[in-house]
Structure 1
Amino acid sequence: MTILWLTFLGLCLNLSSFTSALFVPQHNCEGYFDYFEEDIGGYFGVFTAPRSGVSSLSWTVSFSAHGYDEDTVSPLMPYPSKALAFEKIHNGERGTVFVRFQDFGNELPKLTYAEVNGEVLCEDNEYKAPSITLTRTLLMSTSAPNSQSTAPSKHLVPPPPPPPKPSTTLNDNPFSRRSAPRIESDFDQCGEEGFGPLQIGGELVTRGQYPWLAALYDDRSFEKYTCVTSVISKRTVITAAHCIHGKSPSQLWVYLGRHDRNENPESGALLVSVNRVLTPSEFEGDIVPDKDVGLLVLDEPIVYTKYIKPLCLWSKDLRVSPDEGETGMVAGWGYDQTGEKTRFPMTVNVRLVPLIRCLKEMKRAEDFLTSRTICAGNSQAHGPCFGDSGSALVVLRNNRYYVRGIVSISPRQGFTCDLSGYVIYCDVAKHIDWVRQNMVV
């Protein structure tokens, strides 16, 4: 990569003594969904799967909220913690997940859609304008459950009475308080940047600055570094399909928390083996950027540290401007401007441009540009180069980094890259359903 600008909570309580100004919407998911209140004043909603004995659960839920705040509904997360939720599934009980609500004014977001494994549990109308629809998804997968019982499961909290139909005033609060366990999530800290250099115009990434960064090797010898990968869960990293297509899991190793490529082994880093190699079915080995995304499922769950943390996944409710124009960041161990391999990762800021501009300015790339690709460049001709394939193009939203694209191809200039034009990325936003369906959390 060439030189750049360097850039819980206490006990939870069943929804009860809401303030007199808070309205609780009616929903059509009795038995599968309930609103709850925490004793610190927050509110959340819990979903319960319709049946037990299922080892893989793919959730899709939608809420309607007043206004236009994308953060009113949190990501969908295992309830009350990942460990307990997965233990329940493994034991043959019904899986449970939850969302948190914030900045919703005097009316909680309204559940309008819930689906598990393709089975629609409920549907309802949205709020009248101004409102926004917020869709959240989550895939939970574990080994086959110990029990295949289809009997009703034990609830993590005593099942509250069905919520009353909303009144025409904001003063009807007929809920009784019930205790519930503390909620935790592995993804509370996703996309958080560590410490960076203080000088302007620095070249290198500091240790732990981007804790999702990981290096991909073709064997354990540390001689065959190939690509960049990024942590997206405790079992999954994301990279480019062309980095892993056709390779067996036994060939590949992921070096998590990697920083100094000359230090082997590296303190604070972790070399892990691969269990599964996943690429889209339409990817056939040719480097075609619009399907150049892949996943590696690791053999064992990793433990997050200050050097190893996940990147936030894109979600459908994160809006993309048709004119693009957003500033993104890419980091990796690619070649520098002299064509030399880098010892430490470097980062560069790039600006995303609309497809029509990319087509106009890079006519020779028209065979590689589709609606599922992104172009991004840098006015100083800085950007990712050979060795940076698979690196995540990330954008900052609400003080967290989200993966928007994956480094795929760049124009060449002899033995290095021609960065006077644009680098072409696979648009992860257009593949997010495939990613969520195939990743293991």
Structure 2
Amino acid sequence: MTISWLTFLGLCLNLSSFSSALFVPQHNCESYFGYFKEDSGSYIGVFTAPRSGVNRLSWTVVFTAHGNNQKNTVSSLSAYPSKDRAFEKIHNGERGQVFVRFQDFGNELPKLTHAEFNGQVLCTNDEYEAPSSTMTRQQSMSTSALISQNTAPREQLVPHFSQRTTITPSTSAPREQFQFSQIGSITRNDNPFLNRPKPQIEADFDQCGVEGFASLQIGGELVTRGQYPWLAALYEGGSTVKYTCVTSVISKRTVITAAHCIHGKSASQLWVYLGRHDRNENPESGALLVSVSRVLTPSTYEGNPVPDKDVGLLVLNQPIVYTKYIQPLCLWSRDMTVSPNEGESGAVAGWGYDRTGEKTRFPKTVSVRLVPLAQCLKEMKRAEDFLTSRTICAGNSEAHGPCFGDSGSALVVLRNNRYYVRGIVSISPRQGNICDLSGYVIYCDVAKHIDWVRQNMEV
């Protein structure tokens, strides 16, 4: 297939060059997707990988169209512009590309509603109301050949076009990440946060929810370094900083936590310690402290202690480089089912208080079992005001679980050998200076907020 002339159909498109009857749907995936018109007059949609130097490319994309029986308006995904050329580009360290062809769509192109690359959601859009058709297309390709690192183009839209729009990442340097002169008795020159090493890049880690090595101790609670590489610590402060909550990496620019950990706080006062393990080690080898550019909580969350909206996002000032200690957690997807009786096992990890009410130096993990809402209401009548259809209850038969300092931690479940975030630690019954874990901990159900998460996160 040879394309000598393509015309970009982006948000800034001048539709006068096409038939006035043609409708081009808007979408928020301009960095990775574009509608194009071939010189033959047919239309295609081209997807560009978010990064170069990747030798395994797996795409899942979803389109919607008004009306029934529209399944054939979107072709299967294919390598772009051809299989040979696509592999050549990958070998040269360029961004891999795939495309779909639109056919028999009438006067309205199918709308992109979901794009996912190697398990990472790039963008989502609202679907059409019924009657409508949904078309899911998937394609994977990989090569074992060594990828050249000599060329790594920064353009994010399709190359080799005689007319195209190119988006280039900002080259402005990030602001200094700490402006104070001391932390306690530590002078500026010895400040462990300012003199932090960058983590060593060992490989291209682009799979989400992959657990690292775990201790061979049955029933053990200690998290080994890199076991949960999405685990990160939230710090707050200006002239001094303190640990406050747990966060989890979900993309190269976004971490997820509890809304009550970040609501009403200034981004300039928040810091995320990626790859964090030993809270007493400053700086910590292989870990990275990054500043925050945006604080996001649901518009309906106003500090209310009811945990059904207790989810928040922090957008980082600089993109993450994935390492063996820093990798993303998988996000819940629309096709993942939730049993009405729950009963699934999950895990929670963090630096919260131990059984004696002491702060922990290393993160600990505990296995928990999710229970139905009715059972939670029956066994914890005092929690009635805090339980809704958008909350989850989970507990442990040995009265182990998250406590103070574990707020914001992800309740993760294992599906197809990958961990997905299902809930966020919100509130727990209290017993003096510690938590009463004989009952259930209440989590915000992320599965009920996943559209909000996807629409507000940055990749």
Q: TM-score range by the shorter chain?
A: 0.5 to 0.7
Structure 1 residues 306, 78: CA separation in 2 closer, same or farther (over 3 Å shift)?
Answer: closer
Amino acid at match of 1:295: L
Residues 181-208 of structure 1 show CA distances to partners (whole Å, capped at 9, x for unaligned) of: xxxxx88410000001112122210000
Residues 285-342 of structure 1 show CA distances to partners (whole Å, capped at 9, x for unaligned) of: 1222100000000001010000000000001111100000000000000000000000
Amino acid at match of 1:390: G
Residues 342-399 of structure 1 show CA distances to partners (whole Å, capped at 9, x for unaligned) of: 0000000000000000000000000000000000000000000000000000000000
Match for residue 113 of structure 2? 60
Secondary structure, aligned partner of 2:293? strand
Contact 1:381–1:420 (CA under 8 A) maintained in structure 2: yes
Structure 1 residues 436, 200: CA separation in 2 closer, same or farther (over 3 Å shift)?
Answer: same
Q: Identity over aligned residues, as a percent?
A: 73
Contact 2:275–2:326 (CA under 8 A) maintained in structure 1: yes
Provide runs of 4+ in structure 1 moved above 3 Å.
8-12, 25-30, 37-40, 44-49, 115-120, 122-126, 151-155, 220-223
Structure 1 residues 262, 242: CA separation in 2 closer, same or farther (over 3 Å shift)?
Answer: same
Q: What is the correspondence of 1:211-290 to structure 2 with a 5 Å cutoff?
A: 211-219=229-237, 223-290=241-308
Match for residue 379 of structure 1? 397
2:347 aligned with 1:329: yes
Deviation at 1:36, TM superposition (A): 2.0
Residues 58-97 of structure 1 show CA distances to partners (whole Å, capped at 9, x for unaligned) of: 9425xxxxxxxxxxxxx72299x99xxx9xxxxxxxxxx9
Match for residue 308 of structure 1? 326
Amino acid at match of 1:322: P
Deviation at 1:26, TM superposition (A): 8.5
Measured in 1, the distance between the counterparts of 2:439 and 2:314 equals 31
Match for residue 165 of structure 1? none
Aligned residue among 72, 77, 100 for 1:35: 77
Amino acid at match of 2:77: Y
Contact 2:348–2:365 (CA under 8 A) maintained in structure 1: yes
Secondary structure, aligned partner of 2:73? coil
Residues 96-121 of structure 1 show CA distances to partners (whole Å, capped at 9, x for unaligned) of: x9xxxxxxxxxxxxxxxxx857789x
Deviation at 1:222, TM superposition (A): 7.1
Deviation at 1:152, TM superposition (A): 7.4
Measured in 1, the distance between the counterparts of 2:261 and 2:282 equals 22
Match for residue 434 of structure 1? 452
User: Which is bigger in relative contact order (C-alpha 8 A, separation at least 6)?
Assistant: 1
Deviation at 1:11, TM superposition (A): 10
Measured in 1, the distance between the counterparts of 2:352 and 2:384 equals 25
Amino acid at match of 2:458: V
Match for residue 355 of structure 1? 373
Decide which moves more: 223-232 or 234-243: 223-232
Match for residue 67 of structure 1? none
Match for residue 116 of structure 2? 76
Amino acid at match of 2:348: V
Match for residue 5 of structure 2? none
Secondary structure, aligned partner of 1:433? helix
Contact 1:203–1:346 (CA under 8 A) maintained in structure 2: yes
Measured in 2, the distance between the counterparts of 1:10 and 1:429 equals 28
Deviation at 1:154, TM superposition (A): 9.1
Secondary structure, aligned partner of 1:305? coil
TM-score, normalised via structure 2 length: 0.62
Secondary structure, aligned partner of 2:378? helix
Aligned residue among 99, 108, 111 for 1:46: 99
Measured in 1, the distance between the counterparts of 2:411 and 2:233 equals 15
Residues 378-433 of structure 1 show CA distances to partners (whole Å, capped at 9, x for unaligned) of: 00000000000000000000000000000000000000000000000000000000
Amino acid at match of 2:218: I
Q: Which sections of structure 1, spanning at least 5 residues, go unmatched? A: 1-7, 13-24, 50-57, 62-74, 87-96, 98-114, 127-132, 136-144, 156-185
Match for residue 69 of structure 1? none
Deviation at 1:224, TM superposition (A): 1.1
Deviation at 1:134, TM superposition (A): 9.5
Measured in 2, the distance between the counterparts of 1:354 and 1:389 equals 22
Q: Which sections of structure 2, spanning at least 5 residues, go unmatched? A: 1-53, 59-68, 87-96, 103-110, 139-155, 167-203
2:429 aligned with 1:411: yes
Secondary structure, aligned partner of 1:190? coil
Residues 148-168 of structure 1 show CA distances to partners (whole Å, capped at 9, x for unaligned) of: xxx97599xxxxxxxxxxxxx
Structure 1 residues 154, 28: CA separation in 2 closer, same or farther (over 3 Å shift)?
Answer: farther
2:361 aligned with 1:343: yes
Measured in 2, the distance between the counterparts of 1:207 and 1:341 equals 18
Contact 2:211–2:227 (CA under 8 A) maintained in structure 1: yes
How big is the alpha-carbon RMSD for the aligned residues of Structure 1 and Structure 2?
A: 3.9
Secondary structure, aligned partner of 1:264? coil
TM-score, normalised via structure 1 length: 0.65
Structure 1 residues 216, 48: CA separation in 2 closer, same or farther (over 3 Å shift)?
Answer: farther
Measured in 1, the distance between the counterparts of 2:229 and 2:440 equals 26
Structure 1 residues 300, 188: CA separation in 2 closer, same or farther (over 3 Å shift)?
Answer: closer
Residues 8-43 of structure 1 show CA distances to partners (whole Å, capped at 9, x for unaligned) of: 65899xxxxxxxxxxxx984435xx54327689xxx
Secondary structure, aligned partner of 1:218? strand
Measured in 2, the distance between the counterparts of 1:237 and 1:416 equals 27
Measured in 2, the distance between the counterparts of 1:423 and 1:199 equals 25
Structure 1 residues 125, 428: CA separation in 2 closer, same or farther (over 3 Å shift)?
Answer: closer
